[in-house]
Amino acid sequence: MIIAIDGPAGSGKGTITDIIAKKLNLVNIDTGATYRCIALATLKNNIKLDEKDKIIELAKKQEIIMDENKNVFLNGKDVTKEIRTKEVTKIVSQISSIVEVRKILVDLQRNMANGKNVILEGRDITTVVFPNADYKFYLDATADVRAMRRFKQNKEQNIDMTLKEIKENIEKRDYNDMHKPVGALRRTEDQIYIDSTNMTIDEVAKKIIGYIRGDEEK
């Protein structure tokens, strides 16, 4: 079984997939982390964003592994926290806009899910990575609410970013994510749309599980 969730930055996709994975005993694959790994590698190798050929070649050589606890390993090193820094966050959207990098990582994501019952979240999971997923959701919320959620999350993880920085970053990412030549974030008729602006995380999780179990109607 494949459950796919798309939506903009800060809409709660990561937290929701964690909850649902545990409740339904699914493998949770953090596709966004794969792009963050390439962004981190780009920074570590002092490659500029306009040096696309170098970024593509770099992406081909990276080994990205996630364990059952969603710890992320890049070339054997645990980078779970490092890929969430503001330096990585600032460039990950540009990295994920490179068509060849997306192709490399989509293949990786499909291999990670092969033969498993999985839940995945991102920007193009329902439209590109797994267009034939068993369940497709689009999770949304206002920019203000998403920024506040990310601000609180960063505080818990000791990531130093102001609320203003986060909102500006989210709005920039929204634009970039919706205007990518490949893998753009978009709404489709076969997605189940959920606006979580005025909902708690538990309410959103309950609603999604209800759809999966057949308790909710589309």
How do residues 92-128 score in pLDDT, each as one tens digit?
988 988 999 999 999 999 999 998 999 999 889 999 9
Per domain, the residue ranges of the chain are 2-213
Tell me the three-class secondary structure of the chain, residue by residue. CEEEEECCCCCCHHHHHHHHHHHHCCEEEEHHHHHHHHHHHHHHCCCCCCCHHHHHHHHHHCCEEECCCCCEEECCEECCCHHHCHHHHHHHHHHHCCHHHHHHHHHHHHHHHCCCCEEEEECCHHHHHCCCCCEEEEEECCHHHHHHHHHHHHHHCCCCCCHHHHHHHHHHHHHHHHCCCCCCCCCCCCCEEEECCCCCHHHHHHHHHHHHHCCCCC
Reported pTM: 0.79
Q: What is the mean pLDDT of the chain?
A: 91
Question: CB count, 10 Å around CB of 203?
Answer: 12
Report, at the CATH architecture level, how domain 2-213 is classified. Answer: 3-Layer(aba) Sandwich (3.40)
Does pLDDT of 218 surpass 90? no
How do residues 174-200 score in pLDDT, each as one tens digit?
888 888 777 788 999 999 999 999 999
